[in-house]
Structure 1
Amino acid sequence: MAELLYRIGRLAARRHWTVVGAWLALLAVTAVTYVSFAGVLSSSISLPDTPTTQVSQQLQDDFEGTGAGNGSIVAETTDGEAFTAEQERALVDLFDRIAEVDGIEDVTDPFATQARVDESAEQVADGQQQLEDGLAQLDGAQAQIDAGRDALEQQRQEAREAGTLAAVRSQLEAAEQQLDDGQAELDRQRARVEEQQPRLEVGATLSGLSSGFRTVSEDGSAAVATVVFSLPVNEVEVETKTAIEDLVADSEVDGVDVHPSQEIAQTVPSILGPGEIAGVVIAALVLAVMLGTLVGAALPLVTALLGVGVASLASLSFSGVVQFVSVTPVLGVMLGLAVGIDYSLFIINRHRRQLKQGAGLQESIGLANGTSGNAVVFAGVTVIVALLALNVTGVGFLGLMGTVGAVAVLVAILMAVTLTPAILSLVGTRILRRRERERLAAGERADDDAITEHDRPMDTGRAWAVLGFGIAALLVVAAPATQMRLGLPDGSTQPPDSSGFRAYEVQAEKFGDGFNGPLLVVADLPAPVGGEDELLAEQAAIGTAIDELGDVVAVVPIGASTDRTSLAFQVVPDRWPSSESTEALVHQLRELTPQTVAGGEATLGVAGNASANIDISGQLADVLPTYLALVVGLSLLILVVVFRSILVPLTATLGFVLSLLAAFGGITAIFQLGFLADLFGVHAPGPVLSFLPIIATGILFGLAMDYQLFLVSGMREAYAHGAPARVAVQHGLHAGRAVVTAAAIIMISVFAGFVFSHDATIKPIGFGLAFGVLLDAFVVRMLLIPAAMHLLGEKAWWLPRWLDRILPDVDVEGARLERSHPVR
């Protein structure tokens, strides 16, 4: 591989304009394919065949008028007063226009709905009052009849004592017949009342269960209209959501603010914003300081940006065929920028060093491409393998994210080993500082590879102290990860000035936290329900069982399936969608088997946005250990081949695990527990982004192996050339730390730029990657690994003979190439 890259570097240097033109042509081709074939990005994340999707499909297939997904449109008066009649009419007209948009099945009128709810509650209350009044009247009539019987019996007794019983017998019998007739009529009336009583009791139960449900706030200043889509939320066309937003924006109801909820107003994050540009600027400053020339600083940036353009446009060209989650291209840009700059920097740094040692221009370009370029290819392939391994999780959108990220890294590698040599040829010796060119012209030559007095091994006591303190510090930082909860962003995490956030806040303030994440519950019955009375009784029985679980504000019956074997309810939790109590409620509902009126048990299924988030987070949490084991195993295998050692891979992998856990701890502390939340613009701490741990594991693993290769390979090379093991450790560290430090700062800067994104999905990813690189590069690779290597000494490079014979010699640093092509 090193020899091949050497030839590619020489060829690119000779045919520099051809190479530059080829890449520009490829950029143009990808731009054309993007314009021709690109589709729209989805802002929703979903997984097939989860309990939520199964219930959603059941609702869509078996329940008429329930649709497949829904969102909300929240209206509030600007003065906090109740809606006027004119404002209500204007809002209803807006909702009617929205209902005509393609892809929308219905939009509820919140004012009419609230009126029906209030009327129904009033009817139930009136019915109960009439029942109580009727029973009171019947009791009064019964008392009169009983009193009449007592009086009649007394008259009979008096007549018997006076001896006149025979004379008044007919009168007494007539009076008794009247009492019997009255009793019979009273019994008939009581039977009719008692016949109505169960229905009224069921109605009262259902009214009580749904009493907490409202579509207009109690003070009349806010209203919520439900938008019912004809497809699941994640499948709704962007044009449909855009049409809703446009109608809302154009409505301008006087004195009323209207906010589409997050399900409607989710926006696609911008790929490059002010924060991202600031990260690139910082990277440029680091390059300028390290390389000392503006030309040198510009070269990695140009290649990285060009590579990002090619990779992004090429990937997005397939978005018309495959559904892309909106965060996917942003992740590709993150990786493309970071590794693109770093990989080019590694080759440029090697080329500069060789020029100062007296190598010819094209020879130096070829050698840099064959040595550092070889390491770049190997490190990049490691990152690619880690990203492609996301496909083994079985989670479609994660696999696609990994694939797009791998494409970005692949393009960065190709750019580094072809375009970088071409531009280096064009730049010539101007890649060096003026003073360096003057010393070179004067015949001075550098010898950076020689062992010097600065390469004295560290003190053993200091090595123990560094290792112990470093491990302890990482474990302390990792401690919050033990409390990590996974979830997906909801309206509360959106930017404070966004429509989704305002809709969330209004619902929480005016209706209650749970109204932002109502649950749809379907009860499958052991047998179909019969008449209307039986249906109401079953709804009351199952609704009561749900309500008794606690943490429930309202249980509202929606209806029965077409075959009457299932009942649907809307359940409003007491807390917000991402709360622990709502998550517990979803699990309790799925485990509940309430008794039915007809006998037997019903089984419950749960759907809704909160339920979907719980299912997705749970499934991703389940695959994380498997993926982590795969990545750790891959790490050990690759490093054993590269370094021909057992203990070096073990220390490298353990170091990666420590830095990864510490990164998880930092993410949990800030984004879930709220530590330093204001500093990072986190206004609503909540569960950690559900797919962040897996994404961070794959990317940080690949980047950690990058730095491990560039630092430890120098140690191995010095050891192979006869330096004592502990001296070789310091020599490799001194030789590689400057370029690795610059590369890590650049990568941290690029990732950190995304921390200031307004998107709640991008922000934690940017922080997690930046913080993970910071810990791994500066704590693990530059402190713990050298300390561990020093303590291991000669044992660090031990390898069983049988294994040494069967392992391939990959020659990552291109040592054989250097020997066959000496610099001088």
Structure 2
Amino acid sequence: MNTRLARLGAAAATHPWRTLAGWLLILVVTVGLAATVGGEPHDDYNVSGTPSQDGTNLLADRFPELSGADARVVVHDRSGNRLDPGVLAEVRSRIGNLPEVGNVSEPRPSADGDTALITVRYLVPVTDFTGTEAVDALWTAAGPASDRGLQVELGGQVAENIQAPSGTAEAIGIVAALIIMVLALGSVVAAGLPLVVALFGLGAGMSVIYLMATVTDISVTAPTVATMVGLGVGIDYALLLVSRFTEALRRGLSTVDAAAEATATAGSSVLVAGSTVLVSLFGLAFAGLAVYTSFGYATFATVGFVMFSAITLVPALCGLAGRRMLPRKVRKGVATVEVKQSLTERFARAVAAKPWPVAVVGLLVLLVLAAPVLGMRTWPQDAGSQPTSNTTRQAYDLIAAEYGAGANGPLVVAIDLRRVSPDTLPALVETVRAEPGVAAVTPPMTNAANDAAVIFIEPTTGPQDERTTDLLDRLRADVLPADARTTGLVAVFADIVDRLADRLWVVVVFVVAMSLLLLTVLFRAPVVALKAAAMNLLSVAAAYGVITAVFQWGWGAEWLGLPHAVPVSSWVPILMFAVLFGLSMDYEVFLLSRVREFWLATGDAHGSVVRGLAATGRVITSAAAIMVAVFIGFALDPDVTVKMVGTGMAVAVLIDATLVRLFLVPATMTLLGRWNWWIPRWLDRILPQVTVESHSPQEESAPAPAATTATAGTGHRGEASPVPSRG
């Protein structure tokens, strides 16, 4: 692999304009296709095999006018006067004439008459609407009320499903990343190159996402998450290649040779690191929800393109820039010693000198950070978590104030009258009404064929309240007939929470197993692979603990633009795990590649850890700082789920690149010594030979120490001794 990558890097550096022309062609084609035939992202929340989905299917079959998306139009007089029934009737009539509307309720007045709630039921699910067409139509239909100076707010699925990305998150991340790279590389040219490369890959990847949206459902949030991950890893991958390129230039290599060496060494690490991210993303397919599969598709496409752009565009642009990639003082021969590198090496030696205290303290800190996860409660985010400036949040608050918190999440009970006698319905309504936690129950509504009925139940508590889900569980288990199916917002969300809780461990096992296999094959070191998996699990758990404290406990929620504490979004844990485990492996691969490179060259287990950390510490710290900056930008996004993902990933990368990668990993590797590279003889025989790194010409020409000539399999009892073998 290294030879082919070296040839690729040399060819790109020798003919940079051809490479640039090829990428411009890729961008023109993908962007052009996305603009002409690309689809629009939309969510698919169908959860097959759940009671809520069964209820939705029954409504679609027997009550099509009640089976689709819902919307709520709230009309309020700020002066406190009673609303004019004529205006409300006109608004209701105009809404009833809108496309795909199946049922419009009579305006429901509040107790004081200054507010009215109109519930709209559509014939199609919310995913069938494109862009803001449905919301725009509702605003137009409510014109007679707003023209009278009345406050009109929109809630429900249709309004809450609208995403309006501002681009602020991306801009903040890009500016911060550029500043960090200038400080790290000391050259504006070198700093701008990784950003250009990442944007090329990101542009092509995002275009492919919209092309995929024409043939499959892509979540409306998926492009944002894919941008977040793609921008971060794209800059990191390019930065790693640029760092190796400038390192080779400092040793006196020509531009083409430096590009070839950087692509062969750092390029192979990029491919391995990117592959771990891609493999981790496959785990989202086991979440049991179509929306998660779409997150995997979108992020997979973006990471794939930024990885490809890194190993092709970086050597091409480096070939064009040449020695301008170096700081001016170095080009002029004024500075030859890199002080920051020596500081990193001194730090590495300090960690290796006292591995036990470092390992124990690092582990305790991780466990303390992870502790809040034991009390984590997950719940999909609704309008109650949105900023107070949003119309959906204002509608939510008006409904809660005028009709009770439970009016924002009524339970919809669909009853098959072919299995349940209609005569039992009145008694059932009274039984439900008497249940603790029930605020109101509507009379049964039957369809034209008299073979199905619907009952609406309003809890006394809001959708996010645990007491509401307790009521749902009690109704399903003890009150409602076995052939009744409870659906609606709360029921769907509760079933999603249960499904994700069940599938989280499937995703965890798959991602960890695949990562273990990949690292074992690449480094031929099962001990290192197991240690890496354990460290990554600890860092992810610590990130979970931090977002639980910030969002659920409210320790800093207001700083992130939230008015109050909220449960952790159900979408976040699995999504964060799959992405973060892959990103953690990035830094593991970057570090281990250099450690193993020095180990194979010297056979010195202790020294190779110090030299590997010294060689990668600066670039890992810079790369992590860039990724943290990118993720913090997304933590300022108005969408709560994106905000949580951005915060969680920023914290996880910060923990992983500092506490784990710079303290725990070198400390534990120092303690294990030569046993880091132990491999059983039988496993050594069956594993394929894959070279992760190649050595610099100086290292290859140096005489190998005795330890490097030892071959695996020299141990006894069927085990290989822990000595280096060029695998």
Please give the TM-score of this superposition, normalised by the length of structure 1. Answer: 0.81
1:501 to 390, 393, 414: 393
Pick from 545, 549, 552 the counterpart of residue 665 of structure 1. Answer: 545
Find the counterpart in structure 2 of residue 136 from structure 1: none
Secondary structure of the equivalent of 1:326? coil
Please show how residues 687-726 of structure 1 align to structure 2 within 5 Å: 687-722=567-602, 724-726=604-606
Output the CA distance in 2 between the equivalents of 1:620 and 1:59.
25
Partner of 2:179: 285
Task: Assess, with a 3 A threshold, how the Cα gap between structure 1 residues 460 and 813 changes in structure 2: closer, same or farther.
Answer: closer
Letter in structure 2 aligned against 1:513? A
- Hey, what does 1:229 align to over in structure 2? 122
Is residue 344–residue 614 contact of structure 2 (8 Å, CA) maintained in 1?
A: no
Q: How do 1:213-224 and structure 2 match up within 5 A?
A: 215-224=108-117
Cα deviation, 1:588-631, whole Å, max 9, x if unaligned, reads: 2221355xxxxxx6643101011111112211121100110111
Task: Report the Cα distance in structure 1 between the residues aligned to 2:121 and 2:242, rounded to whole angstroms.
Answer: 57
User: Does the CA-based 8 Å contact 2:87-2:144 persist in structure 1?
Assistant: no
| Aligned partner letter, 1:508 | A
> After superposition, where does 1:111-126 map in structure 2 within 5 Å?
none
The residue type paired with residue 86 of structure 2 is: R
2:76 is paired with a residue whose SS is strand
**Per-residue deviation at 1:525?**
5.5
Q: Which residue number in structure 1 is paired with residue 666 of structure 2?
A: 786
What is the aligned partner in structure 2 of residue 361 from structure 1?
Answer: 255
Letter in 1 for 2:93: D
**Contact 2:387/2:562 (<8 A) preserved:** no
Answer yes or no: is the 8 Å Cα contact 1:704–1:773 preserved in 2: yes
Q: Cα distance 1:704–1:223, how it changes in 2: closer, same or farther (>3 A)? A: same
Cross-structure match for 1:71? 71
Contact 1:356-1:446 within 8 A present in 2 as well: no
8 Å CA contact 1:589–1:605 kept in 2: the answer is: no
Rounded to whole Å, the distance in 2 between the matches of 1:417 and 1:452 is: 27
Structure-1 separation of matches of 2:341 and 2:387: 52
Amino acid at match of 2:361: F
CA–CA distance in structure 2, aligned partners of residues 448 and 671 of structure 1: 37
Distance 1:553 1:454 in 2: 67
CA distance, structure 1, for counterparts of residue 418 and residue 93 of structure 2: 40
Aligned in 2, Cα 1:488/1:780: closer, same or farther, shift over 3 Å?
same
The TM-score normalised by the length of structure 2 is 0.91
Deviates more, 1:232-241 or 1:413-422: 232-241
Q: Equivalent residue of 1:568, what SS?
A: strand
- In 2, distance between residues paired with 1:14 and 1:461? 45
State the partner residue of 1:11: 11
Give the equivalent residue in structure 1 for 2:714.
Answer: none
Q: Distance in 2 between matches of 1:423 and 1:678?
A: 43
3-state SS in 1 of match to 2:561 = coil
SS at match of 1:815: coil
Which of 85, 96, 102 pairs up with 1:105?
A: 102
State the match for 1:554 in structure 2: 440
Distance of 2:143 and 2:227 partners within structure 1: 32
The answer for the alignment partner of 2:197 in structure 1 is: 303
Q: 1:358 to 1:270 in 2, by over 3 A?
A: farther
TM-superposed CA distance for 1:806, in Å, is 2.6
Which secondary structure state, in structure 1, belongs to the residue aligned with residue 443 of structure 2? strand
Distance change in 2, residues 1:608/1:818 (3 Å): farther
Deviates more, 1:812-821 or 1:551-560: 812-821
In the alignment, the residues of structure 1 paired with residue 387 and residue 350 of structure 2 have an alpha-carbon distance, to the nearest angstrom, of 50
Partner of 1:608: 488
1:361-400 Cα distance to aligned partner (Å, 9 max, x none): 1011011011101110111111111112322334222112
Residues 70/539 of structure 1: CA separation in 2 closer, same or farther (3 Å cut): same
Query: Partner letter of residue 463 of structure 2?
Result: P
1:461 CA displacement? 8.0
Does the residue aligned with 2:58 lie in a helix, a strand or coil? helix
Secondary structure class of the residue paired with 2:640: coil
Cα shift at 1:319? 1.7
Cα deviation 1:10-36 (Å, max 9, x = unaligned)? 111121111111111211111211121
Moved more, 30-39 or 741-750: 30-39
- What amino acid is the match of 1:773? V
TM-superposed CA distance for 1:453, in Å, is 8.5
Write the letter of the residue equivalent to 2:54.
Q
- Residue ranges of structure 2 left out of the alignment (5+ in a row): 703-727
Deviates more, 1:500-509 or 1:774-783: 774-783
Does the Cα contact within 8 Å between 1:525 and 1:602 map onto a contact in 2?
A: no
Identify the residue that residue 732 of structure 1 maps to in structure 2.
612
Alignment pair present for 1:393 and 2:263:
no
How far apart are 1:694 and its partner, in Å? 1.1
Picking from 302, 316, 321, the partner of 2:215 is 321
Q: Tell which deviates more after alignment, 273-282 or 648-657.
A: 273-282
Identity score, percent: 33
Cross-structure match for 1:521: 413
Q: Quick check: 2:344–2:618 contact (8 Å CA) kept in 1?
A: no
**Are the counterparts in 2 of residues 271 and 333 from structure 1 also a CA contact under 8 Å?**
no
CA distance in structure 2 between the partners assigned to 1:658 and 1:429 by the alignment? 42
Q: 1:367 to 1:81 in 2, by over 3 A?
A: same
Q: Is the 8 A contact 1:457 1:729 kept in 2?
A: no
Please tell me whether residue 483 in structure 1 is matched to residue 483 in structure 2: no
Amino acid paired to 1:814: S
Report matched runs for 1:227-626 at 5 Å.
Answer: 227-238=120-131, 239-248=133-142, 252-266=146-160, 268-271=162-165, 273-439=167-333, 454=346, 457-458=349-350, 462-524=354-416, 529=421, 535=422, 538-562=424-448, 564=450, 566-593=452-479, 603-626=483-506
- Structure 1 residue 306 displacement after superposition: 1.7
1:342 shift after superposition: 0.6
Amino acid at match of 2:34: Y
Residue in 2 that maps onto 1:47: 47
**Contact 1:315–1:404 (8 Å) recurs in 2:** yes
Partner of 2:717: none
The residue identity in structure 1 corresponding to 2:363 is I
Is the 8 Å Cα contact of residues 455 and 727 (structure 1) preserved in structure 2?
no
Contact 2:352 2:666 in 1 (8 A): no
Map Cα deviations across residues 768-798 of structure 1 (whole Å, 9 max, x no partner): 1111111111111111111111111222222
- 2:203 alignment partner AA: G
Tell me the distance in 1 between the aligned counterparts of 2:348 and 2:218: 53
Distance change in 2, residues 1:412/1:474 (3 Å): same
State the AA in 2 paired with 1:619: R
Q: What one-letter code is carried by the residue in structure 1 that aligns with 2:424?
A: E
Task: Tell me which amino acid in the other structure corresponds to 1:548.
Answer: A
